[in-house]
Amino acid sequence: MKLLLTGGAGYIGSHTALLLLQRGYDVIIYDSFVNSSYKVINAIKSYLDADGIDYKLKTIKGDIRDKSSLDKIFKDSIKEGNAIHAVIHFAGLKSVSESVKYPLNYWDVNVCGTKNLLEIMKENECYSMVFSSSATIYGLTNSVPISEDQKISPINPYGKTKVAIENMLCDLFKSNMNKWKICSLRYFNPVGAHPSGLIGEDPIGIPSNLFPYITQVAIRRINLLKVFGDNWDTEDGSGVRDYIHIMDLSEGHIDAIGFLMSKESIYEVINLGSGKGYSVFQMIREFELSTGCEIPFLIEARRDGDVANNFADISKAENLLGWSPKRSLKQICIDGWNWQRNNPQGYT
Ligand code: NAD
Ligand code: UDP
């Protein structure tokens, strides 16, 4: 089966691509490399080569806003007699703070880019998509665990673009309910790395998320961690989140593709998380225990827009996809540290 992975060179896309290739899928990665490095492609290839796996991977540099370039990919595949069955649509911009500064850019890439892609898919009769949505679309006042039917109320432009895309996908499905097979996966907090240490998360500049910040403190690229508040209404006063191992998340995409292929037509939104909440202090402790690295920290004021407690109800993913996360917080720390230790400066 042939899949197009937009944004397939990014953090989540690269781990998913590697798994798909290992499992015999034919993969095209389409990426502008605006937030990724070509080195990730070489890392994927070297891992598969070392494993003696025969794989079919094509990488194309391009922007999802470029319709003619997208169209050519679909048409070339049809000409080769091996049409694209489905798209996993990872491509997009994902920084909350940047989206506040440059909202038009976020609407252009995320929303207009997705609209372009869907138009080209429709023209080329490819009707299946797994879309990267986000738990950031849930409102701040939801109760935990958060199920898919809870209130949607994004507070930043990034989250608003994800809601707009979900609405567009739902409208498209309703316009032709016999054809489209669409699954929006709402990720919670993807963290960790491939166990080989060859691919992992490589944020540009100072990380804004907790886990890559911790690994960069551990490698001494950053002096200490700032903990945003120790007076939250949680067991130890620090913020609680749902950290999901990147390999569990990647497996969720393969199950989502299998789910779509088993249906005549479908539209679903599905949470992907670990289903468990861990606090910042628990994360620091687990990282120190599993890696032996000390993480010095300082308590700072709360961060704007944060919530105390946020973790997923994953029963829908378990029931519909037959998926469940398998890896522990300890495994997240071990694999994340392995990647950071082997690549102190990331891909650069
Ligand atoms: P990432 O930035 O590592 O990957 C996104 C990829 O898309 C990058 O390789 C980037 O170069 C590419 N890209 C960006 N704009 C493009 C364009 N116009 N045309 C083609 N390619 C383009 O991000 P990620 O963490 O792998 O996230 C993948 C998706 O999952 C994104 O849509 C993101 O919003 C969503 N998501 C991520 C998280 C997270 O915490 N990582 C959480 C929820 C949702
Ligand atoms: N956090 C922190 N210091 C940091 C980054 C994050 O204390 O440098 C806290 C943050 O307040 C939240 C948790 O860690 O309670 C997870 O934050 P992250 O940004 O990784 O995920 P999100 O809040 O977007 O779910």
Q: What is the pLDDT along the chain (348 residues), one digit of tens a residue?
A: 999 999 999 999 999 999 999 999 999 999 999 999 999 999 999 999 999 999 999 999 999 999 999 999 999 999 999 999 999 999 999 999 999 999 999 999 999 999 999 999 999 999 999 999 999 999 787 799 999 999 999 999 999 999 999 999 999 999 998 999 999 999 999 999 999 999 999 999 999 999 999 999 999 999 999 999 999 999 999 999 999 999 999 999 999 999 999 999 999 999 999 999 999 999 999 999 999 999 999 999 999 889 999 999 999 999 999 999 999 999 999 999 999 999 999 998
Residues 317 and 273: their CA atoms lie apart, in Å, by: 9
The whole-number pLDDT of residue 283 equals: 98
Q: Which atom of ligand 1 lies closest to the CA of 187?
A: 43
Residues 209 and 337: their CA atoms lie apart, in Å, by: 15
The whole-number pLDDT of residue 255 equals: 98
Please report which helix (H) or strand (E) contains residue 268, including its range. strand 266-272
Q: Which atom of ligand 1 lies closest to the CA of 34?
A: 11
Q: Which atom of ligand 2 lies closest to the CA of 239?
A: 15
The whole-number pLDDT of residue 276 equals: 98
The whole-number pLDDT of residue 132 equals: 98
CA 163 to ligand 1 centroid distance, Å: 16
Residues 210 and 280: their CA atoms lie apart, in Å, by: 8
The whole-number pLDDT of residue 200 equals: 98
Kindly state if the Cβ of 91 falls inside 6 Å of ligand 1. Answer: yes
Strand spans (E) along the chain: 2-6, 26-31, 56-61, 86-89, 128-134, 181-187, 189-191, 225-228, 240-241, 243-245, 266-272, 278-279, 297-300
> Residue with the nearest Cα to atom 17 of ligand 1?
63
**Bridge partners of 144?**
none
Enter the pTM of the model. Answer: 0.98
In this structure, which amino acid lies at residue 41?
Answer: I
Lookup: tokens for 234: 């949680």
The whole-number pLDDT of residue 348 equals: 86
DSSP three-state, residue 112: helix
Cis amide prior to 157 (ω within 30 degrees): no
Kindly state if the Cβ of 213 falls inside 6 Å of ligand 2. Answer: yes
Q: Which atom of ligand 2 lies closest to the CA of 135?
A: 25
Ligand nearest to the CA of 155: 2
The whole-number pLDDT of residue 75 equals: 98
Kindly state if the Cβ of 241 falls inside 6 Å of ligand 2. Answer: yes
Of 181, 314, 151, residue with least CA distance to 260: 181
Residues 192 and 40: their CA atoms lie apart, in Å, by: 16
Q: Which DSSP category does 305 fall into? A: T
Residues 341 and 206: their CA atoms lie apart, in Å, by: 17
Kindly state if the Cβ of 206 falls inside 6 Å of ligand 1. Answer: no
Kindly state if the Cβ of 5 falls inside 6 Å of ligand 1. Answer: no
Ligand 2 probe mutation, 306, 310, 311, 332, most atoms within 8 A of CB? 306
In this structure, which amino acid lies at residue 286?
Answer: E
The whole-number pLDDT of residue 170 equals: 98
The whole-number pLDDT of residue 177 equals: 84
The dihedral region occupied by 138, where left means phi > 0, alpha psi between -120 and 50, and beta the remainder, is: beta
Q: Kindly list the catalytic residues.
A: 158
Ligand nearest to the CA of 161: 1
Kindly state if the Cβ of 134 falls inside 6 Å of ligand 1. Answer: yes
With contact defined as beta carbons under 8 Å apart, do 226 and 297 qualify? Answer: yes
CA angle 75/78/79 to nearest 5° reads: 85
Of 31, 27, 25, residue with least CA distance to 6: 31
Kindly state if the Cβ of 339 falls inside 6 Å of ligand 1. Answer: no
